[in-house]
């Protein structure tokens, strides 16, 4: 799953309000239960899922590196063993390399600061006067002369990249972005690279308090080693055509997961878990007769900005998009230490994915699963293309999200199997001929 994006608490408030307003899934009795107890679903082998995750988590699988390529090769080999013709969709993307050093100094000030870089912040060493630019909005700069100065702004409600661009446009040479007390600094992102950025650092409330008493002193902002590299990655794809003997429809059902990880994290939960479950679903589906086309996708470079899924969707024809009725995205579906299973859509609304998934969940657990907001993974490009898409994830995320501690021992077999069963039952329900569902 992708890092947290742009804005802060107000979005959280809105999302709570909207979640409260989102219609609860109607749970219908019947086929959900029969399907989830079917022989096919019972065939899912959690030991195989776990073994795949073990194989994938031997080292981090950072997009564009040799280890991501090895993970792709492993998936191709397994899919070929199952008897699939495997497609590879290569693509290039801009890979951001985080700075090696970030520093903030005030001339004549004894104390120290611990600022954090933003993902996509540019390198640079800048010395200049500090200027308070309020909330860093366009109108804040109309009232001040920020030319050649280092802007200090307090985050309110906008995207971080906009704060950086407003400051840059006003002639500021760097920007310090203050996070109020209830918003701790973290690895936030500017979303994507821009040549118009100036060096940008996140300031904790504590550091901001020190700065605000010393606004008359000259500051030096240092960011070293941040850069953008052109890199290559690939999506791995298999397609299962509907059986012509059946009353085949032209609909397409898509199941996907990203297989890359962030730097230094073996990425067991994020996202060897989803990858391994999807690979097991591919095994289960291999010899199943279906009435719809099934596409099973493994995305590269999700962590760098959903590059794989964006590439896949951009290469779909209008006809393919129209025929695609559902996209199940599995990202972080096995952590023993995360919250409960959640199903998330970009708009928080139910759709052709959430409804069967919720029914399957109910058949398994006896209570329903309501749809939540979530837009930080590979279902987003599909949603934006107008395809019903949703993310399955255990939420809230575990403590070691994106950390070296995201190792294989943190995965729960029960949790992996639960998601495998839910997606299997949902997609079987959509793709099996009616008579074979009895
Ligand atoms: Zn992630």
**pLDDT tens column, 257-284:** 999 999 889 999 999 999 999 999 999 9
Residue 149 C-alpha to ligand 1 middle, in angstroms?
36
Residues 6+ positions from 62 with CB-CB distance below 8 Å: 68, 260, 261, 262, 263, 303
> What are the pLDDT digits (tens) for 414-424?
999 999 999 99
Q: How confident is the model over 157-185, as pLDDT tens digits? A: 778 999 999 999 999 999 999 988 777 77
Residue that terminates a domain, selected from 164, 191, 225: 225
pLDDT at 87: 98
Largest pairwise CA distance in the chain: 82
pLDDT of residue 377: 96
119, 56: one domain: no
Q: Does residue 421 sit in the same domain as residue 320?
A: yes
Residue 2 in domain: no
CA 167 to CA 149: how far, in whole Å?
10
Confidence of residue 22 (pLDDT cuts 50, 70, 90): very low
Q: Is residue 1 in some structural domain?
A: no
Same domain, yes or no: 169 and 265: no
What tens digit of pLDDT does each residue of 308-317 get? 999 999 999 9
For position 198, which CATH number holds? 3.50.30.30
Residues 313, 181 within the same domain = no
Q: What is the pTM assigned to this prediction? A: 0.79
Is 80 exceeded by the pLDDT of residue 118?
Answer: yes
**Separation between Cα atoms, residue 184 and residue 39, nearest integer Å:** 49
C-alpha dihedral, 204 to 209 to 211 to 212, nearest 10°: 130
Rounded-to-integer distance, Cα 330 and Cα 269, Å: 11
Contact predicate 437/35, CB 8 Å? yes
pLDDT in tens, 216-262: 999 999 999 999 989 999 999 999 999 877 667 899 999 999 999 99
**Are 24 and 113 part of one and the same domain?**
no
How far does the chain reach from its first CA to its final CA, in angstroms?
Answer: 37
User: How many domains does the chain divide into?
Assistant: 2
Residues 130 and 176 in one domain: yes
Q: How far is the CA of 403 from the centre of ligand 1 (A)?
A: 10
* Cα(426) to centroid(ligand 1), Å: 25
Distance 389 CA to ligand 1 centre (A): 18
Q: What pLDDT is attached to residue 99? A: 95
pLDDT digits over 63-77, tens only?
Answer: 999 999 999 999 999
Of 186, 201, 225, the position where a domain reaches its end is 225
**182 & 197 share domain:** yes
Contact present, 56 and 78 (Cβ < 8 Å): no
Residues with CB under 5 A from ligand 1 (ion): 1, 270
* Cα–Cα dist 278/273, whole Å: 9
Apex CA 372: angle with CA 367 and CA 373, to 5°?
Answer: 170
Q: Which residues pair with 172 in a beta bridge?
A: none
Cα of 145 from ligand 1 centre, angstroms: 40
306 alpha carbon to ligand 1 midpoint, in Å? 10
Same domain, 164 and 290: no
Q: What is the pLDDT of residue 8?
A: 40
89 and 124 share one domain: no
Residue 14 has pLDDT above 60, yes or no: no
Q: What are phi and psi of 410, to 5 degrees?
A: -85, -5
Full residue range of the structural domain in which residue 126 is found? 99-225
- Whether residues 83 and 219 share a domain: the answer is no
Domain annotation covers residue 148:
yes
Write the burial class of residue 111 (CB in 10 Å: 0-12 exposed, 13-18 middle, 19+ buried): exposed
Alpha carbon of 108 to ligand 1 centroid (Å):
41
Residue 114 sits at φ, ψ, to 5 deg, of -125, 70
What confidence score (pLDDT) does residue 263 get?
A: 87
379 in any annotated domain: yes
Looking at the structure, do residues 73 and 106 belong to the same domain, yes or no?
Answer: no
The rounded Å distance from CA 369 to ligand 1 centre is 23
C-alpha of residue 332 to centroid of ligand 1, in Å: 8
| pLDDT tens-place string over residues 70-116 | 999 999 999 999 999 999 999 999 888 899 999 999 999 999 999 99
304 CA distance to ligand 1 centroid (A)? Answer: 9
Asked if the structure places residue 400 within a domain, the reply is yes
Give a yes or no: residue 179 inside a domain: yes
Strands 174-178 and 150-154: parallel
Is residue 183 domain-resident? yes
C-alpha 344 to ligand 1 mean position (Å): 15
258 CA → ligand 1 middle, Å: 9
pLDDT band at 187 (very low <50, low <70, confident <90, very high): low
Radius of gyration of the chain (CA): 24
Ligand 1: centre distance to CA 133 (Å): 33
Burial of 24 (0-12, 13-18, 19+ CB in 10 A): exposed
Q: What is the CATH number of the domain that holds 425?
A: 3.40.630.10
Measure the CA–CA gap between 136 and 7, rounded to whole angstroms. 13
Alpha carbon distance 76, 298 (integer Å): 10
pLDDT in the model for residue 69: 98
In terms of phi and psi (left: phi > 0; alpha: psi -120 to 50; beta: otherwise), the region of 38 is beta
Q: How far apart, in whole angstroms, are the C-alpha atoms of residue 358 and residue 351?
A: 11
> Nearest CA to 76 among 367, 324, 310, 297?
297
Q: Is residue 411 part of a domain?
A: yes
Query: In the listed set 197, 225, 253, which residue is the last one of a domain according to the structure?
Result: 225
Rounded to whole angstroms, how far apart are CA atoms 90 and 377?
Answer: 19
Q: Are residues 78 and 162 in the same domain?
A: no
């Amino acid at each position: 799953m992708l890092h947290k994006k742009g804005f802060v608490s107000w979005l959280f408030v809105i999302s709570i309000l909207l979640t409260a307003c989102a219609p609860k899934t109607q749970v219908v009795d019947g086929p959900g239960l029969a399907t989830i107890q079917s022989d096919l679903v019972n065939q899912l082998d959690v030991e195989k899922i776990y073994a795949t995750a073990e194989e994938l988590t031997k080292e981090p699988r950072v997009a564009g590196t040799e280890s991501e390529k090895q993970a792709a090769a492993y998936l191709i080999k397994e899919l070929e063993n199952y008897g699939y013709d495997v497609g590879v969709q290569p693509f290039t993307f801009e890979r951001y390399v985080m700075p090696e050093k970030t520093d903030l100094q005030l001339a004549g000030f004894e104390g120290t600061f611990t600022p954090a870089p933003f993902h996509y912040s540019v390198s640079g060493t800048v010395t200049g006067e500090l200027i308070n630019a309020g909330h860093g909005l366009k109108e804040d700069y109309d009232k001040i002369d920020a030319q050649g100065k280092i802007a200090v702004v307090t985050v309110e409600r906008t995207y971080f990249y906009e704060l950086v661009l407003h400051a840059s446009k006003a002639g500021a040479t760097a920007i310090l972005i203050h996070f109020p007390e209830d918003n701790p600094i973290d690895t936030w992102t500017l979303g994507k690279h821009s040549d118009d950025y100036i060096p940008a650092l996140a300031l904790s409330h504590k550091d901001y308090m020190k700065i605000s008493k010393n606004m008359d002193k000259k500051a030096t902002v240092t960011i070293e080693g941040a850069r953008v590299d052109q890199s290559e990655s690939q999506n791995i794809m298999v397609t299962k055509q509907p059986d012509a003997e059946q009353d085949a429809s032209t609909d397409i059902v898509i199941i996907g997961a990203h297989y890359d990880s962030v730097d230094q994290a073996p990425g067991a939960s994020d996202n060897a878990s989803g990858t391994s479950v999807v690979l097991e679903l591919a095994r289960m589906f291999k010899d199943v007769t279906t009435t719809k086309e099934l596409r099973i996708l493994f995305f590269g470079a999700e962590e760098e900005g959903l590059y794989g899924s964006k590439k896949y969707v951009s290469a779909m024809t209008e006809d393919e998009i129209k025929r695609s009725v559902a996209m199940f995205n599995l990202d972080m579906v096995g952590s023993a230490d995360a919250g409960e299973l959640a199903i998330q859509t970009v708009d928080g609304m139910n759709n052709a994915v959430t409804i069967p998934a919720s029914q399957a969940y109910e058949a398994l657990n006896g209570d329903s699963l309501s749809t939540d907001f979530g837009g930080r993974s590979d279902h987003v490009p599909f949603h934006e293309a107008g395809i019903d898409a949703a993310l399955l994830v255990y939420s809230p995320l575990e403590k070691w999200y994106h950390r070296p501690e995201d190792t294989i021992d943190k995965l729960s077999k029960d949790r992996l199997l639960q998601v495998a069963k839910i997606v299997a039952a949902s997609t079987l329900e959509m793709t099996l001929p009616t008579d074979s569902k009895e």
